[in-house]
A and B are shown apart, each in its own frame.
Chain A
């Protein structure tokens, strides 16, 4: 019974993720793309819960749905004109694009199905937050600090790029 519930939830989430990702990939309206991306991210968070990654699922909801998607919606709303919103996300080269995509997806699915992956028998569903914290401040301390420096420089770079150029005094038009 437990397995049946697990399977049903997995297939529902997988259909939601794949369907909304396909909509993101082919829709012509960029606002609808952005809102379909919400369902993709939420479905991926659900898959993380099924994979016993509770902390990563919460992080996914907080950062992707709460942060990244709001940024994307900001960019969409600020940069596209309302009059042409229906054709705001056009594509070029669809036929070769679909061809390469189908080839790539077929290769990936073939590898996923036919690969001899090492699978451990016992799968536990224990909470992971405490051990992630220990790992981040123990084994992965150096990458953690490097990422913090990278985030700082990235944010400074974003501010510098997005800021309006200020004219020097006496040089105004």
Chain B
């Protein structure tokens, strides 16, 4: 059976579910960041799959451009998040534990 649009959407759904699991349960901030990257990748798979299977000649490129913006913003988000991780690492006694970062709440 040749893979069609639902096959790619299912791969994207798995990736999204694993990303959600990562974001919800991780204690290490870098682990949470990896989950966010998984979620963004699943969104990219869906963009490109829809562009490939249900785009016309005019609209096909739009999905590609969306995915391109998504990749660029993911890289930017990663840079900012890692700067925050480094700042936490210096200011919170070498712990990057999401359970401990409650200073803003108190």
List residues of A whose CB falls within 8 A of some B CB.
3, 6-7, 10-11, 14, 17-18, 21-22, 24-26, 30, 33-34, 37, 40-41, 44, 47-48, 50-53, 55-56, 59-60, 63-64, 67-68, 71-72, 74-76, 78-81, 88-94, 97-98, 100-102, 104-105, 108-109, 111-113, 115, 117-120, 123-124, 128, 131-132, 135-136, 139-140, 143, 147, 150-151, 154-155, 157-159, 161-162, 164
Expressed in whole angstroms, the minimum distance between the Cβ of A146 and any Cβ of chain B is 10
Task: State the majority secondary structure of interface residues on B.
Answer: helix
B13 lies within 8 A of A109 (CB): yes
A92 lies within 8 A of B78 (CB): no
B71 lies within 8 A of A59 (CB): yes
- Confirm or deny: B104 has a beta carbon within 8 angstroms of a beta carbon on chain A: no
What residues of chain A lie closer than 8 Å to B5, measured between beta carbons? 117, 119
B83 lies within 8 A of A161 (CB): yes
Known contacts A25-B35, A117-B54, A72 near B30 by CB under 8 Å: yes
What residues of chain B lie closer than 8 Å to A147, measured between beta carbons? 69, 72-73
A119 lies within 8 A of B86 (CB): no
B52 lies within 8 A of A135 (CB): no
Known contacts A71-B79, A72-B82, A117-B5, A56 near B20 by CB under 8 Å: no
Task: State the majority secondary structure of interface residues on A.
Answer: helix
What residues of chain B lie closer than 8 Å to A67, measured between beta carbons? 75
What residues of chain B lie closer than 8 Å to A72, measured between beta carbons? 30, 33-34, 37, 78, 82
Expressed in whole angstroms, the minimum distance between the Cβ of A19 and any Cβ of chain B is 10
Q: List 24 A-B contacts (CB under 8 A).
A: A6-B3, A18-B18, A21-B18, A37-B38, A41-B41, A44-B41, A44-B45, A51-B8, A51-B48, A56-B64, A59-B68, A64-B41, A67-B75, A71-B82, A72-B33, A72-B82, A75-B33, A105-B17, A128-B64, A132-B68, A135-B65, A151-B72, A151-B76, A164-B90
B78 lies within 8 A of A68 (CB): yes
A88 lies within 8 A of B54 (CB): no
B28 lies within 8 A of A89 (CB): yes
Expressed in whole angstroms, the minimum distance between the Cβ of B25 and any Cβ of chain A is 4
CB contact between A25 and one of B18, B28, B96 (< 8 Å): that residue: B18
Known contacts A81-B94, A89-B26, A3 near B2 by CB under 8 Å: yes
